[in-house]
Amino acid sequence: MTTYQTLRVRPTDPGVLTVAIDAPPMNLIGPELVRDLVTLLGELESGDDVRVVVLETADRDFFVPHVDLTKIAEYTAEAAKAGGSDDASLGMLLHRFSTLPVVLIGKLRGRARGAGSELLLASDMRFAAQENAIIGQPEIGFGALPGAGGMQHLARLLGRGRAMEAILGGDDFTAEEAERYGWVNRALPDAELDEFVARLARRIASFPPEAVRVVKETLNDLTLPPAESIRADARTFRRLAATESLKDRSAVLFADGLQTRGVLELELGDRIGSLGS
């Protein structure tokens, strides 16, 4: 049995694996979580019992708030261990999840911002709780951009006008707003979300595996952003992340509670709009 430090992994139905992100204190994406994602990817690539993975959070307030900004080099080094490219990045790791023959369903409660949103976008489909889900790409507030696939996925899913608003505005979207824009498949009442996703996962796991594999592959050919675009965005992210803007603006936000449980992180989408230019 593989051991994970930040993921709770359990079979929930025949062919269905449920993976809960459980990286206290608040599910930041750091080296440990990336290491576990690399391990999970390897397990899913080599095994053939799992047909559907449901990805959820163990923390009701935070799905994934964003990456740990103090450990970009460390988690990128972990992501590189997934191999497959001499230009490794978190975005390429997520891209490899998208190309798995396994079907990945994201289930959103709490906040998914930045790479948290990108983890959901790399999933094959995603569903959100009406009462508490929040999704956003606040990178612009730090002087950066979504560097792990978000630019590519949102441009395709939302179209030019709404992708501009989401990424240039950097604001929080409620589940209902995210559904209207196509960021998530559906917003569902929190009380119905688990059963809706579990039923869908059971169905897909029950269908002939060869057909499921071929459908996902064909739809990926038609709709998945190309790896080269993911790589280009990762390079742009690194370039922008090396500027003074990111350092300066992060410093202000860290002084105000960034990366600790509290009101700043709960309302990050709003707060990045009040830093001044």
Indicate which residues carry an active-site annotation: 118, 139
Position 247 contacts a copy of itself (CB under 8 A): no
Position 160 contacts a copy of itself (CB under 8 A): yes
Q: Give the nearest distance from C-beta 255 to a copy of itself in angstroms.
A: 18
When binding is defined by CB under 8 A, the residue of 22, 124, 172, 265 that contacts a copy of itself is: 124
How far is residue 92 CA from its own chain's centroid? 12
Residues 207-236 that bind a copy of itself (CB under 8 A): 207-212, 214-216, 218-220, 222-224, 229, 233, 236
Characterise 185 by phi-psi region: left (phi > 0), alpha (psi -120 to 50), beta (else): alpha
Position 242 contacts a copy of itself (CB under 8 A): no
Position 204 contacts a copy of itself (CB under 8 A): yes
Structure-block tokens of residue 35 = 């290491």
Position 66 contacts a copy of itself (CB under 8 A): no
**What is the rounded distance in angstroms from the CA atom of residue 97 to the CA atom of residue 210?**
18
Position 141 contacts a copy of itself (CB under 8 A): yes
Phi/psi for 185 (5° steps) reads: -65, -50
Position 199 contacts a copy of itself (CB under 8 A): yes
Dump the DSSP string for 7-64: EEEEEEETTEEEEEE--TTT--B-HHHHHHHHHHHHHHHH--S--EEEEEES-SSEEE
Those residues with Cβ within 8 angstroms of residue 62's Cβ, 6 or more apart along the chain or in another chain:
26, 27, 110, 111, 116, 265
The residues binding a copy of itself (CB under 8 A) are 14-15, 103, 123-126, 139-141, 143-145, 151-153, 155-157, 159-165, 167-171, 179-180, 182, 184-185, 199-200, 202-212, 214-216, 218-220, 222-224, 229, 233, 236, 240, 243, 245, 249, 272-273, 275-277
